[in-house]
Amino acid sequence: MPKFILITGRTTGQGEALHKGKESDEYRQATGLVEMNHLDRERLASLAPQGWGEPGGGQRVRVRTAFGEAELELRESDLPEGMIFVPLGPAANALIGAETRGTGMPDSKGLEAEVEPLVTSPPKLGGIEGGIV
Amino acid sequence: MKIENVVCPFCGCLCDDIVVEVEDNRITAVTKTCSVSRSFFLHAHTGPAHPTVDGQEVEWPEALDVTARILADSASPLIYGLSSTASEAQRKAIALADLLGASIDSTSSVCHGPTTIGIQNQGEPTCTLGEVKHRADLVVFWGCNPAEAHVRHFARYSVSARGKLTPQGRKDRTVVVVDVRPTRSSRTADVFLQPRPGCDYEVLTAMRALLKGETSDVAEVGGVSVAQLVDLLERMKSCRFGVIFFGMGVTQTGGKYLNIAELLALVAELNAYTRFTTMPMRGHGNVAGADCTLTWQTGYPFAINFARGYPQYNPGEFTAVDLLARQEADAALIIASDPVAHFPRRAAQWLSQIPTIVLDPEVNLTAREARVVLPTAVYGVSAAGTAYRMDNVPLPLKKIVDSPQPTDEQVLDWIIERVKT
C-alpha cells in the first residue's frame, strides 16, 4: 500500500463540532476524515477495488501506522504529494503512539502511514472502544 | 438584555469584545464571535443536571464522598486538564495535588510543553499582543494555522488590526507563513515557505548561520531554497518590529523543544538588528493561566509530582501521557479537559481501567469512561473567574447567565474538605 507522512491538527470544523457534543454526527464527521493531494488520490483509486469512489459510495480508506489504524472518509485538498492530514479526535488518537521521548508530548505529526482503499459502509466512530479498528 | 465586552474563554486569543444577548437566563444571540466561539456560546447550556457515579444519577454529597474515597485510597493519583477552567480553580487543584501527594499536569504537556522546555533552555524574547497590534510590521506564523485554530487573531492582533504605528492594518505589514502544507493562513500571506516535514530545526539552524554571515554551499535546506532564507532574513533584519508566532507544527514534530530553542535563539539574535519577539499560539482559553498558576504556586509550569511532599518537575516522567501509557497512575481526576478525545489511544485506554473522576460542564468522551462525573458551571458563561491570554495577560471572565451547577473551584473545595476528614 502507498506510504504517506501523517500530520494531525485542529480544523475549524472540528472546533465548531466539539461544542455540539463529542457524540454528535457533526463531530464524528469532522474528525473522521483524512485529506490528501488529488494526484495521490488518483494513484490510490487505481489500486482500489471496484466500486470505490463511486457516487454515493463514498471514498473510505483505512489509514494504518505502527501504532494503530482507523477507517476514514477521504477528501482531496491541496496538501503536498505524499502527505495526509487527519483532524484531532478519536481517529487521530488511534494512529499516534504514546512514546514522548522524555518530553510529555507524543509524536503527533510526521508519522509514516499507509492508506488502503475500502469498499465498506461507514463504521460508527466513538470513544476508546468505538468503531475505530 | 445585551451584554457587551464579554471575554470568549474558548481559545488563547481571549477576544474581549463579544456581545451576548440574554433572554430568560439563556443566550439567544452572539455577535463579533468567530464560528467556533459562536458554537461555544450557543451550546454552553447543554450539560447534565446531576452528578453520576457508575452511570447512575446521584446527589452531590454522595458523588463527592465517592470522589474523596477514590482519591484518598489512591497511591499514585493524577490530576490533569486545567486549561479550560479559571485560575481560581487551578489554585484549588494544586492544593488538592499537594494534599494527596499527586502528580498534576495540564494540557500544556500535549500542546506547548516543549515550548516551555525550550524557553527554560533559551529564554523568551516576547511581548504582548497589544505591542504586536500597535507596532509589528513583520509577522511570521511558523507551524501554526490561526485562520482555522485562532480565527480572530489576524483581525484583532496581528495582521489586519490597525494600531498606532500600523494605522493601515494589513497594508502596513508583511505576513510570512512557514508550514509544511498550504493552509487558509498561508493563502493570505505575502511570503510562504514550505519546508519538508520534520525539517524545522535544519531550516532554523541554517537561518542562524546565515544571520551570522556564514555562506552556504548548498542550494536548499529542508526543502526551502537558501535564496528564500536569505530574503526572509533581510526582511527580518530591516523591519521595525518583528514577531514570530509558532504552533504545534514545531512542538509536535521530532526534536520538539530543540526546535523551539533554535527558534528562540534566532529571535534573540535578530535583536542585534531590530526589535524582534516571539510568542506561542496557545490553544485553550486558560492554558497560559495553567502554566502561570502552577509556576507561582510550585515553581514549575507542568509535569509536577508531590509524592515526596514537595513539588518535583520532570517532563516525560510526570506528564499525563507518560503516567497513563506506563500505567503508573492508579486514579485520575480530569478537570475541564477531554484526554480520551486527544491522547494517544494507549494512554487514553488506561483511563477506563482506573477509577476516573471528571469535572466538566459537558459529558465528553472521557466522562463516558469515568466512574464519577461532576457537572460544573462554565467559566465565562455561568461563572466568573480569571483567564490568561496567550501573551500571559490575565483577563476577567464574566458570569452572563445563572447556572444550577457549582463552579470547579467550589467542587474542588468540597473534595479537599472531604479528603482532609
A86-110 residue pLDDT tens: 998 989 999 999 999 999 999 888 8
**B303: closest chain A residue by CA:** A104
Grid coordinates belonging to B42: 450557543
Looking at residue A120, its pLDDT comes to 63
Residues 6+ positions from B220 with CB-CB distance below 8 Å: B226
Average pLDDT, chain B: 96
d(CA B331, CA B334): 10
Looking at residue A133, its pLDDT comes to 35
Q: Where are the domains of chain B?
A: 50-111+285-420, 113-280
**A126: closest chain B residue by CA:** B365
Which of B263-267, B325-329, B331-335, B365-369 is predicted least confidently?
B365-369
Q: Indicate whether this complex's ipTM tops 0.85.
A: no
Looking at residue A127, its pLDDT comes to 46
Domain assignment of residue A65, yes or no: yes
Q: Which fold has domain B50-111+285-420?
A: Rossmann fold (3.40.50)
pLDDT-derived band at A132 (thresholds 50, 70, 90) equals very low
Nearest by CB: B345 against A68, A102, A107? A68
> Which residues in chain B (97-126) have CB-CB distances under 8 A to chain A?
105, 109-110, 113-114, 117
Looking at residue B47, its pLDDT comes to 79
Mean pLDDT for the stretch of residues A112-133: 64
- Best mutation target among A24, A100, A132 (most B Cβ atoms within 10 Å) is A100
Looking at residue A56, its pLDDT comes to 59
Looking at residue B263, its pLDDT comes to 97
Residue pair A37/A75 in contact by the 8 Å Cβ criterion? no
Residues of A in contact with B39 (CB under 8 A): 15-17, 19-20
For residue A82, the enclosing domain spans 3-118
Looking at residue B379, its pLDDT comes to 97
Which of A118-122, B18-22, B91-95, B324-328 is predicted least confidently?
A118-122
Domain assignment of residue A126, yes or no: no
Residues of A in contact with B302 (CB under 8 A): 104
Residue pair B74/B330 in contact by the 8 Å Cβ criterion? yes
pLDDT-derived band at B75 (thresholds 50, 70, 90) equals very high
Domain count, chain A: 1
Domain assignment of residue A128, yes or no: no
pLDDT tens readout for residues A40-71: 999 998 888 877 877 655 689 999 999 999 99
User: A–B: how many Cβ contacts below 8 A?
Assistant: 167
Asked if pLDDT for residue B27 goes beyond 50, the answer is yes
Which of B246-260, B317-331, B380-394 is predicted least confidently?
B246-260
**A127: closest chain B residue by CA:** B365
CA A63 to chain centre: 6
Looking at residue A131, its pLDDT comes to 38
CATH code, A92: 2.40.40.20
- For domain B113-280, give its CATH number from 3.30.465.10, 3.40.50.1370, 3.40.228.10, 3.30.460.10: 3.40.228.10
Nearest by CB: B148 against A11, A94, A107? A11
pLDDT-derived band at B44 (thresholds 50, 70, 90) equals confident
Nearest by CB: A21 against B40, B46, B249? B46
Task: Report strand pairing: B174-178 vs B138-142.
Answer: parallel
Asked if pLDDT for residue B41 goes beyond 70, the answer is yes
Percentage above 90 pLDDT, chain B: 95
pLDDT tens readout for residues B125-149: 999 999 999 999 999 999 999 999 9
Mean pLDDT for the stretch of residues B200-207: 97
pLDDT tens readout for residues B108-121: 999 999 999 999 99
- What are all long-range contacts of B362-366, with beta carbons under 8 Å and residues at least 24 apart? B362/A21, B362/B46, B362/B47, B362/B48, B363/A21, B363/B47, B363/B48, B364/A22, B364/B338, B364/B340, B365/A22, B365/A23, B365/A90, B365/A127, B365/A128, B365/B338, B365/B340, B365/B341, B366/B334, B366/B337, B366/B338, B366/B339, B366/B340, B366/B341
Domain assignment of residue A124, yes or no: no
Nearest by CB: B252 against A79, A94, A105? A105
Residues of A in contact with B46 (CB under 8 A): 21
